[in-house]
């Protein structure tokens, strides 16, 4: 059963020199109680896809087509008032940088109370009890002290735990974790990812994990969608993906891992296309070692099922 379905999503940027499509007919489904990883190089459209769910796109961006179904409702048809009710309560965001996500002028407790009182409609005493409970759930030592602390008094890992606590305090059904370990050292990264894994198992929370770290994804995700230049080029269960990677771009990403089945590290030639760069046919063909002349550079490949819940968009299939 899916908690969220994105169907044929299209997002364009309206700039002074033209209109440029950033998300191209993207579809993905996040199952209840599972972690779905969306991976790819920087600038491929991962975060724009996530921000589309929450209606937090920049002013120059506009959703031009598709549906985002959550609890049998299309989020794209909701008013600003209704989407605000969903945002932060039923769907929560763990942003890339916890340092800039918390207001430095208010204590962690005040920021937790604001969210709880807004979405849970609890009295102040009950809201404080709920806030302390949420800090406990994310295993923050001395939660009462953290409640009265300002963000600058906490480490990066503790700030990230506090942000996760805000999601749990409102009983979010879906957590969007946008590069949640980017600013953290390796030890703290593992702690944060283990914490999200425990939350998923204990509360049945679904997680959309935005990442470029395939090693991290291999350990914590249940399904994976690979994005390149605004399109999904491969989707599969994680185990299936790493055993039988199909798309040349996915294979190239795995080759670049420090430990991989191909043994020798290899870089991907060239650079990913910019938003304003128009490429005919398969957008990966200028960097692909398996490019078929007069096919890959002229025809856009369809995302086809090549195995059980395994899809790939490549003319070689």
Q: What's the CA gap between 199 and 212, in Å, rounded?
A: 22
- Residue 153, beta-bridge partner list: none
Check the CA dihedral 103-109-110-116 and report its sign. positive
**Collapsed DSSP state (helix, strand, coil) of residue 295:** coil
Q: Angle CA(287)–CA(208)–CA(22) in degrees, nearest 5?
A: 45
If you ran DSSP here, which 8-state letter would residue 97 be given?
Answer: -
List CB contacts of 190: < 8 A, sequence separation 6 or more.
none
Residue entry with tokens 């990264």: 189
Q: What's the CA gap between 202 and 33, in Å, rounded?
A: 9
**Collapsed DSSP state (helix, strand, coil) of residue 201:** helix
Question: Rg for the chain (alpha carbons), in Å?
Answer: 20
Domain ranges across the chain: 2-90+172-312, 99-171
Asked whether 96 and 183 are in contact (CB, 8 A), the reply is yes
Which helix (H) or strand (E) covers residue 205, if one does? Answer: none
Q: What is the pLDDT of residue 192?
A: 87
Q: What is the pLDDT of residue 262?
A: 54
Instruction: Report the CATH number of the 2-90+172-312 domain.
Output: 3.40.50.300
Q: What's the CA gap between 188 and 41, in Å, rounded?
A: 23
List CB contacts of 261: < 8 A, sequence separation 6 or more.
254
Asked whether 48 and 56 are in contact (CB, 8 A), the reply is no
First vs last C-alpha separation in the chain: 29
Q: What is the pLDDT of residue 156?
A: 84
pLDDT in tens for each of the 317 residues of the chain? 899 999 999 999 999 999 999 999 999 999 999 999 999 998 899 999 999 999 999 999 999 999 999 989 999 999 988 898 888 789 998 887 766 778 999 999 999 998 888 777 777 778 898 899 989 988 898 999 999 999 999 988 888 889 888 888 878 899 999 988 877 788 888 888 998 999 899 889 999 999 988 989 999 999 999 999 999 999 999 999 999 999 999 999 988 877 655 566 677 888 899 999 989 999 999 999 899 989 999 999 999 999 999 999 999 98
Q: What is the pLDDT of residue 248?
A: 95
Side-chain-side CA neighbours of residue 50 (13 Å):
27
Q: What is the pLDDT of residue 169?
A: 83
Q: What's the CA gap between 94 and 172, in Å, rounded?
A: 12
Burial of 40 (0-12, 13-18, 19+ CB in 10 A): buried
Mark residue 216 as left, alpha or beta (left: phi above 0; alpha: psi -120 to 50; beta: remaining). alpha
């Amino acid at each position: 059963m899916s908690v969220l379905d994105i169907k044929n999503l299209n997002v364009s940027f309206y700039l002074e020199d033209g209109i440029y499509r950033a998300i191209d007919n993207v579809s993905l489904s996040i199952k209840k109680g599972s972690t779905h990883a969306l991976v790819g190089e920087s600038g491929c459209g991962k975060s724009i896809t996530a921000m589309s769910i929450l209606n937090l796109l920049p002013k120059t961006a506009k959703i031009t087509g598709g549906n985002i179904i959550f609890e049998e409702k299309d989020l794209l048809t909701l008013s600003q008032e209704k989407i605000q009710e969903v945002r932060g309560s039923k769907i929560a965001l763990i942003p890339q940088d916890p340092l800039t996500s918390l207001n430095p002028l208010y204590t962690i407790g005040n920021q937790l109370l604001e969210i709880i009182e807004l979405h849970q409609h609890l009295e102040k005493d009950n809201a404080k009890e709920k806030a302390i409970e949420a800090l406990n759930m994310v295993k923050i030592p001395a939660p009462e002290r953290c409640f009265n602390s300002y963000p600058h008094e906490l480490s990066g890992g503790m700030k990230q735990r506090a942000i996760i606590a805000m999601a749990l305090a409102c009983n979010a059904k879906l957590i969007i974790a946008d590069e949640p370990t980017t600013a953290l050292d390796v030890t703290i990264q593992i702690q944060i990812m283990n914490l999200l894994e425990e939350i998923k198992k204990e509360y049945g929370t679904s997680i959309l994990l935005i990442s470029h770290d395939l090693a991290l994804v291999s350990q914590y995700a249940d399904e994976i969608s690979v994005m390149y230049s605004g399109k999904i080029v491969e989707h599969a269960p994680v185990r299936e993906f790493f055993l039988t990677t199909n798309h040349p771009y996915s294979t190239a990403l795995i080759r670049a891992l420090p430990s991989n089945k191909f043994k020798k590290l290899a870089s991907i030639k060239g650079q990913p296309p910019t938003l304003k760069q128009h490429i005919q046919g398969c957008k990966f063909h200028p960097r692909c070692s398996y490019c078929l002349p007069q096919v890959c550079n002229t025809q856009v490949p369809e995302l086809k099922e090549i195995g059980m819940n395994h899809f790939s968009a490549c003319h070689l299939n």
